[in-house]
Amino acid sequence: MSGIAAGDIAAFTQLYDRYARRIHAWCAHVLGVGRAEDAMQEIFLRLWQHAGQFDRERGSFTTWFTAIARHYLVHVLRRESMLRRVAMATEVAAVLEHGSASTPGPEETLAQREDGAALAGAMKLLPDEQRQVLVLAYFGGLSQSQIAEELALPLGTVKKRIRLGMEKLRGALAPQSSPQRAPGAGRAAR
């Protein structure tokens, strides 16, 4: 990241290759394919312009970059009607339920591949109503109260669905959560 902050375009290109597909999928499914490229450009431009603000001691690069991307996308979404946001979430939930069996690109780190694949598998297994509220919250940027209002559900029901859904997703990551994995433990499966 220090290289990118200093204007190293080769270092930036490496990060682009690593995260482009993820950011593109996020933008395309949330905003629509037609707006995905503009959004991608904006997000990567923010990465380039603010690379000097990244502080490794405060968290990982993925955490930092994910925050940048979500902040931008949620702000864009807030210009949309609530109807459009709920429709978007329905589409994202459908992708997560019926999605392809593809795997992230070879540039991904082992841990990132494992988390993404494990969560994708767990999301498929969630009951529709739990998947829906999680997607509305994270990808749609809706609060629990807004979700309850839009889905005409009691607030307590929304809270319970979020809690149950998150519990299952945490469980999907739990076996991989040990900080020190055996070297090459996941490579044998590649």
Least CB distance from residue 99 to other proteins, whole Å?
Answer: 2
Nearer to other proteins, 79 or 190 (CB): 79
For the four alpha carbons of 176, 182, 184 and 189, in that order, the dihedral sign comes to negative
Least CB distance from residue 188 to other proteins, whole Å?
Answer: 20
Least CB distance from residue 154 to other proteins, whole Å?
Answer: 15
Least CB distance from residue 182 to other proteins, whole Å?
Answer: 20
Nearer to other proteins, 109 or 185 (CB): 109
Least CB distance from residue 185 to other proteins, whole Å?
Answer: 18
